[in-house]
Amino acid sequence: MDNANGQSGSSLRREIDVQQEINLHQGDGPRPISDPRQDIGLRQGICSHQGRGTAPRQVAFYGKGGIGKSTVSQNMAAALASAGRKVMVVGCDPKADCTSMLTGDFLNDTVLEQVRALSRGSRLEEGVDDVVKMGFAGIACIEAGGPEPGVGCAGRGIIAAIDLIKRKGLIDDSLDFVFYDVLGDVVCGGFAMPIRQGFAREIYLVTSGEMMSLYAANNICKGVRRYASSGQARIGGIICNCRNVEREMDLVSGFAKAIGCPVLGVVPRDSLVQKAEAHQKTVVEHAPESSQAQAYRKLAQALEDNEMFVVPDPLSREALRDLVLRYGD
C-alpha cells in the first residue's frame, strides 16, 4: 500500500533503514587497524609481480567534483592492470560514471538500483552479477550509484555498496588493488564510509592549483585527521591534475608542504584525455604509446612504490587563503 507521499511500504521501510544506517555511521568511531604497509605489504615494481596471497591494497581517491579524479583513478587502474595487476574499482560518486572509461558504458547498473529492486520483491544478492562489470584488462567495476534526482541522501549508494562488498566477500586475496573513487565536495557520513569502515587505508588527494580544488583537498584532510586517531587511514600523497594556472606546481607543492604530505605525482594537461573519453576509453587503452599514457603509468608506479603515509595537518581558512594569495598575486 502506498503512503500519503506515494511511497510503497517496502520502499519506505528501506528509506528508513538506510537513514538509520547513515545516522549510525555518523555517530560511531573508526575501527582501529594497523598501518597500511603492515597489513598489505608493498610490492615493488609495476612490472615485477610477486604473486598472490596478501590482502589487496585499498586505495581511495578524493577530490573536488570536476577535478578529474575519475580520469586519474581509471587511467592508473588501467596502467596497473596492463602490467598484470588484479584491480577492482568501486565508484562512489552519485553520478555513477567512475568506471565508464573502463567498461565503455555510461549505463552501468548500480548497487543502489539493486537496492531499489528490493521494493519489488527481489534479493540484492541475486543482482551481484549485474553490478560487477568486467572492464579493460580484467578490471572489476562496481558503481554505487545515487538517489533519484531530488530524493534522498547521496551517500546511500556508498553505504549500500560497502554493505554488498562486505556481505558477498567481493574483496579477497586474489586482488592486488581496490580503488575507491569518492566525491570530495560532500562530507556527510556516507561519503566517509570507505574511511570509517576501514576499507580505504591509503588516501590520495587529486587537486590542481585552483583555489576551490585546494579548499576541497584541505577539507578532506580534516576528515582523515579526525579518523586517524585510531590508526585507520593515512594520506599517501597529493596528485596534481594540472589546469595550467599560473605557478600551479609552486602552489600545489607549497600546499603539500604546509599540510605535511608528499606530492605523489603530476598529470600534465593534454587534449588527448578528452579524445580518449569521447571513445569511452582511458588514455592507457586508447593511446598506450603516448606521453600522456606514460604519465599515468609513472603515477601508478609511484603509487605502488609508495611507502610514505602521513596524518595531514590541515590549514585554517585564513592560512589557505594566504597561501593561495602568496602564489597567485
Q: Which of 270, 262, 193 lies closest to 227, judged by CA?
A: 193
Residue with cell 593511446: 287
Cell numbers given for 232 = 585507520
User: Apex CA 326: angle with CA 322 and CA 329, to 5°?
Assistant: 120
d(CA 160, CA 157): 5
- How far is residue 251's CA from residue 328's CA, in Å, rounded to a whole number? 8
Active site residue 69: yes
Give the dihedral of Cα atoms 180, 192, 261, 324; nearest 10 deg: 110
Q: Answer yes or no: are the C-beta atoms of 160 and 112 closer than 8 Å.
A: yes
- 185 is an active site residue: yes
Q: How many CA atoms lie within 13 A of 277 on its CB side?
A: 14
Please give the helix or strand (H or E) that residue 196 lies within, else none: helix 193-196
**What sign has the CA pseudo-torsion 303, 63, 164, 88?**
negative
At residue 269, the 3 state secondary structure works out as: coil
Calpha distance 201→59 (Å, rounded): 6
Residue 218 host element (H or E): helix 211-227
> 3-state DSSP call for residue 225?
helix
In whole angstroms, how far apart are CA 28 and each of 3, 21, 48? 32, 11, 40
Does the active-site annotation cover 64? yes
Active-site residue (options: 130, 185, 270, 298): 185
Question: Which residues participate in catalysis according to the annotation?
Answer: 64, 69, 95, 185
